[in-house]
Amino acid sequence: MTSSAGPFRIGLLGHGTVGAALAELLPQRAAQIEHVTGLRPEIVGVLTRSRGDFEQILAASDLVVELIGGIEPARDYVIRAMRAGKHVVTANKQLLAQHGEELWAIARECGVQLRFEAAVAGVVPVIRVLQESLAAAHVERIHGIVNGTSNFILSEMARTGAAYADVLKEAQRLGYAEADPSEDVNGKDAAAKMAILARLAFDTPVHLDQVVCEGIERIGPDDLEYARDLGLGLKLIGTAERVDGGISVRVHPAFLYARHPLASIDGPFNAVTVESEAITEITMSGPGAGGPQTASAVLGDVISAMIPPASTPETSVRLEVVADVVSAFYLHMEVADTPGVLSRITGVLGEHGISVKSVVQKGLGDNARLVMVVHPVLESRFFAAVERIATLTELRTPPRAIRVIEEEFS
């Protein structure tokens, strides 16, 4: 389109890092958007804690962009906007992971768009790919590095050998981590994103509480040192996959072999791999955080809402969420350097039907460490063995376990 049909009025809720970046980006792109859509977007009101009135902004807007974060009052504002017939764009993954079904139902009922590309993986267009490009594919599994903060921390620990706490401080100094980084490092941010991806990929309701979640706070430099010896790299991985007629959705640290498509994703970058029999495997990557990058994804959603496709459909199946799945594991043990300790540990593993793939032993006396990678086993069986091993008198500290993803792609 080249002729203008008038302004397209946007109400902006939130003026933090992303909101401010969007307010700066929109005027720069307005002429090009008008050329494409026939409408010229403009911000007609901004709501913050200290300025703006929601009702006035709502009345003056064709579309509302929610960048407040958190659950309330964001949920209330989004619902009120949609019930008033306004399109909504949000980057709020916690809101969607906890209340998505309610919000999508209201969007369908009111005939408005609820767009949320920026809620998952920054500028990586995985939402649009799942909803549009792969809408007819039977997705089997999604693997993702969907938190740039944790990926930066693990990448720097591997590169420098520094401790977790020191790298976290550096991430905060560079702006990759918030002053309170809890949700990034404990896995909850990634868990919310994987709940959203699982819902879209498998067409079934998935709530944040159904995602098994483990963070990176206990990872030590020695884990990464041993990983190098074993030819592995460490990432915080989100996985959503079909298992025994149900689905498993989880977030946890995992070791990857070098040929896995996510193994080379370093620093504050995100990547998502989608697997399906129809497409084999595709991987999308890009910046996972930052005001301008997220604002760009938000603006893409605004443009999509200006030329609206169908809204997010209601789910058509209800799959059981499976918590106990099969995985390989890395097992790190600080042991007393006494005769027979290795055989006692492998004996416990053998009693639980667990076989050892590789072993590394370093240090002597009080500094002895024993590291193993075991072949894939049901997680409940492995953790039962770890509980038994922890009771052995030769163990100086509780054993540490990290999952290993064995797939490699050519």
Tell me which residues are annotated as active site. 193
Residues 89-118 as b or e (16 or more Cβ within 10 Å = b): bbbbbbbbbbbbbebbebbbebebbbbbbb
- CA 44 – CA 38 distance, rounded (Å): 18
**E-strand stretches of 299-396:** 326-334, 356-362, 369-378
Tell me whether residue 87 is annotated as binding. Answer: no
First to last CA, the chain: 44
Phi and psi at residue 109, to the nearest 5°: -60, -40
Q: Is the dihedral of CA 371, 374, 379, 380 positive or negative?
A: negative
| Residue 96 annotated as binding site | no
- 375 is known to lie in a ligand binding site: no
At position 371, the amino acid (one-letter code) is: V
Q: Is 17 annotated as a binding residue?
A: yes
* 178 belongs to an annotated ligand binding site: yes
Q: How far apart are CA 316 and CA 314, in angstroms?
A: 6
Task: Please report where in the chains the tokens 């050519």 appear, as a residue.
Answer: 410
> Is 16 labeled as ligand-binding?
yes
Q: Is 46 annotated as a binding residue?
A: no
Burial category of 86 from C-beta neighbours within 10 Å (exposed 0-12, middle 13-18, buried 19 and up)? buried
143 assigned ligand-binding residue = no
Token duo for residue 256? 């990857």
Binding residues for L-homoserine: 178
Annotated binding site for NADP(+): 13-20
* Residues of each annotated binding site: 13-20, 93, 178
